[in-house]
């Protein structure tokens, strides 16, 4: 059966299948952004430990937010083939969901560059979630992190993408 779509190219592989850093030197800098999300599910004791008065380590949400911002700035150190990028803004927001003992971490990175900020947003969300685990693990070792996912990106050759939205298919010319 013929394929209806072209197999996606893995850009971090050279023709022989070896790992390589993508050359972006010929690309023009353009405005870009990316947002990622991580979900942290805690037990009741660990959820109570989110409050600084209940946690000997301090304000877990504030520490996690700062950890996410700091991690975004070090993404190229975490991800071997990721370009070290300059960006204009990193925001990390942690939303408590008391009824489910969850914290939703949202990380957004914006700037102008030759390549996207998806990895920076994912690393920021991941680091904030891992920091929440560290801050609350004394109360509950069964904390669950996940999913960690890209929720949207904009800019660059591939344009905008939003999780859950169907990709736009170009209209077919009439008469074919």
pLDDT digits (tens, 9 = 90+) for 143-152: 999 999 999 9
Interval 127-163: pLDDT, tens: 999 999 999 999 999 999 999 999 999 999 889 999 9
Averaged confidence pLDDT in the chain: 88
Task: Give me the domains of the chain, ranges plus CATH numbers.
Answer: 40-155 (3.30.70.640)
Interval 69-105: pLDDT, tens: 999 999 999 999 999 999 999 999 999 999 999 999 9
CA distance 131 to 50: 11
The catalytically annotated residue of 23, 51, 59, 134 is: 134
40 to 30, 120, 123, 138: CA distances (angstroms) = 33, 19, 15, 15
Catalytic residue status for 77: no
């Amino acid at each position: 059966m013929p394929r209806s779509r072209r197999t996606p190219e893995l850009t971090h592989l050279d023709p022989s299948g070896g790992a390589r850093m993508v050359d972006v030197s010929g690309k023009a800098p353009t405005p870009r952004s990316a947002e990622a999300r991580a979900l942290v599910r805690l037990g009741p004791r660990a959820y109570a430990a989110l409050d600084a008065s209940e946690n000997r380590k301090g304000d877990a949400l504030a520490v996690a937010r700062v950890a996410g911002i700091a991690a975004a700035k070090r993404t190229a150190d975490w991800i071997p083939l990721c370009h070290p990028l300059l960006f204009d803004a990193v925001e990390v927001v942690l939303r408590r969901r008391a009824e489910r003992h969850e914290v939703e971490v949202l990380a957004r990175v914006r700037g102008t560059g030759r390549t996207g900020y998806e990895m920076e947003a994912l690393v920021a969300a991941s680091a904030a979630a891992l920091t929440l685990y560290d801050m609350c693990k004394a109360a509950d070792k069964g904390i669950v992190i996940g999913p960690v996912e890209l929720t949207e990106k904009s800019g660059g050759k591939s344009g905008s993408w939003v999780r859950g939205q169907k990709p736009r298919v170009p209209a077919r010319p009439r008469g074919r």
